[in-house]
Amino acid sequence: MEFALLNGSIIKRSEAKVDVEDRGYQFGDGVYEVIRIYNGKMFTVAEHLKRFVKSAEGIGITLPFTTLQLTEMLEELRIKNNLQTGNIYMQVTRGTAPRNHVFPTGDVAPTLVAYTIKVVRPLENLKSGVKAILTEDIRWLRCDIKSLNLLGNLLAKQKASEQGCFEAIQHRGQDVTEGSSSNIFIVKNGTVITHESNHLILKGITKDVILDLCNNNDIPVQERTFSLAELDEAEEVFLSSTTAEVMPVIEINGKKISAGVSGPITQKLQNLFEKEVEKQCGLLVDKVI
Ligand code: PDD
């Protein structure tokens, strides 16, 4: 039997229900996180919960639990569901109230939900790389908030999927921002470049792990806006996310990148990333490198 966390209680997942007037359901009025589990251990959980609090604060929701309480509850949920490899999905909404665009006043409690999903590592894609398309970034201007409102992201991802691609790389005019559910990196003259963490992108937890790995291993790295032209001329391109890790991008809009195979710096970072996972979560059985 699967369990879910609903407002502090772990209950049968089939019994975890929210009201039709939950503001997350009606307005997407909430924020979320996805945390990766390797070997039954949560990877970078403190960083995810810190971002969860920040996203919630960004839209004026005060979490009903401390991060320590949340960590304990998520671990209890993981144990109950015996999750070894997969994700914990967690979201908080502004709660249930009569439908009104204005925030409810009074003591409307936020709705907090978490559940687990078994997913293996995408080893095939991590080895061979994935294809992407380009698409104009039509999202709002607070992409730093991990909001439940994902329509812009979904439309971009669907377009990619319909063209047999894994990801849609978004751009505002000539500036590349991020993927529909990932951060984007290029390698130019041996330097790793990725968009600075501002309101136009999500400050990815995996992105920050990669930046640290670069800085600690003498891989030149820059956080700055790069253009479509730089993307087009890149020696290597990769994307990052909690579920996709460090994923080579080997084709964009039908054009091959680095001869259509994963490049050397991408592979080095995949190797360093796996070592970081092993440091926090124990030895991995199957590895990319
Ligand atoms: N998405 N940018 C966007 C728009 C994202 O949705 C994500 C993650 C990232 C990468 O962030 P992180 O490294 O912290 O996972 C960047 C998650 C995995 C999702 O929506 O499923």
pLDDT digits (tens, 9 = 90+) for 25-79: 999 999 999 999 999 999 999 999 999 999 999 999 999 999 999 999 999 999 9
> What is the C-alpha to C-alpha distance for residues 71 and 84, in angstroms, rounded to an integer?
16
What percent of the chain shows pLDDT beyond 90?
98
250 band by pLDDT with thresholds 50, 70 and 90: very high
- Could you tell me the domains of the chain? 3-118 (3.30.470.10), 123-281 (3.20.10.10)
Pocket of ligand 1 (CB under 6 A): 34, 153, 178, 181-183, 202, 204-207, 240-243
Nearest atom, ligand 1, residue 201 CA: 2
Active-site annotation holder among 12, 17, 146, 207: 146
Please enumerate in sequence order all residues whose Cβ is within 8 A of that of 122, keeping only pairs 6 or more positions apart, or say none.
243, 244, 245, 247
In contact, 269 and 238? CB cutoff 8 Å: yes
Is 118 an active-site residue? Answer: no
In this predicted model, what pLDDT tens digit does every residue of 121-172 receive, in sequence order? 999 999 999 999 999 999 999 999 999 999 999 999 999 999 999 999 999 9
10 Å CB burial of residue 134 (0-12, 13-18, 19+) is middle
In contact, 51 and 205? CB cutoff 8 Å: yes
> What is the C-alpha to C-alpha distance for residues 57 and 162, in angstroms, rounded to an integer?
36
In this predicted model, what pLDDT tens digit does every residue of 188-242 receive, in sequence order? 999 999 999 999 999 999 999 999 999 999 999 999 999 999 999 999 999 999 9
> What is the C-alpha to C-alpha distance for residues 157 and 159, in angstroms, rounded to an integer?
5
Q: What is the 3-state secondary structure (H, E, C) of the chain?
A: CCEEEECCEEEEHHHCCCCCCEHHHHHCCEEEEEEEEECCEECCHHHHHHHHHHHHHHCCCCCCCCHHHHHHHHHHHHHHCCCCCEEEEEEEECCECCCCCCCCCCCCCCEEEEEEEECCCCHHHHHHCEEEEEEECCCCCCCCCCECCCHHHHHHHHHHHHCCCCEEEEEECCEEEEECCCEEEEEECCEEEECCCCCCCCCCHHHHHHHHHHHHCCCCEEECCEEHHHHHHCCEEEEEECCCEEEEEEEECCEECHHHCCCHHHHHHHHHHHHHHHHHHCCCCCCCC
How many beta carbons lie within 10 A of that of residue 271, not counting itself?
Answer: 16
Q: What is the pLDDT of residue 134?
A: 99
289 band by pLDDT with thresholds 50, 70 and 90: confident
Q: What is the pLDDT of residue 268?
A: 98
In contact, 166 and 222? CB cutoff 8 Å: no
For atom 9 of ligand 1, which residue has the closest CA? 182
Distance 148 CA to ligand 1 centre (A): 12
